Amino acid sequence: MKFLVNLDVDDLERAVDFYGSVFDLRVGRRLGTFAVEMLGGPTPIYLLLKKAGSAATPEGIQQRSYGRHWTPIHLDFVVEDIEAVTVRAVAHGAHLEQPITTQAGHKLALMADPFGHGFCLLQFTGQGYDELTS
C-alpha cells in the first residue's frame, strides 16, 4: 500500500517555500496552477491551493480557514536536530505552540505551520519509542 499526504493552503508559493526551506523537501511536479508535489520524505506531500472561505465539505457546512485549527490527524516530522529545525520553522512562519520537551526516548515540539495545520517535530533519543514498551 502507498499513501499520499495532501495539505490545503491558501498561498501555494509560500507553502512551497515553507516545506522546502524547513524540511528540505523539493518540488517534484506542478499539477497545473492548483497543486505542487513535494518530494524528499518517505511519501509525497501535495500542497493544494484552496481559497480561504471556500467550502471544505461537500455540503458547505464548513469553510476553509487558515487560522490555527484543530484536526484529529497531524504530521510528525522526525528530525536529527530538533532545536535547529524549530528555529528554522519559526523563521519561516511556523508557530511554536509548546516548547521542546524531553520525554522517554524522544524530544517533542508542538507546532503549527503558516496555514494553521498542527504538526510535531520529533527527535528520537536513546532507544526511541522502544523505551516506552514493556
**What does the block give as the cell for 86?**
524549530
pLDDT of residue 134: 62
CATH number at residue 112: 3.10.180.10
pLDDT of residue 132: 78
Q: What is the mean pLDDT of residues 20-44?
A: 97
Q: Strands of 5-9's sheet, edge to edge?
A: 5-9, 45-49, 35-39, 26-31
**Count of structural domains within the chain:** 1
User: Model's pTM, two decimal places?
Assistant: 0.90
Q: What are 33-66's pLDDT values in tens digits?
A: 999 999 999 999 999 999 998 988 888 788 999 9
Sign for the CA dihedral angle at 26, 30, 35, 37 comes to negative
**What does the block give as the cell for 21?**
526551506
Question: Are the C-beta atoms of residues 38 and 44 closer than 8 Å to each other?
Answer: yes
Residues 6+ apart with CB under 8 A from 133: none
Average pLDDT over the chain reads 94
Domain that holds residue 18: 5-132
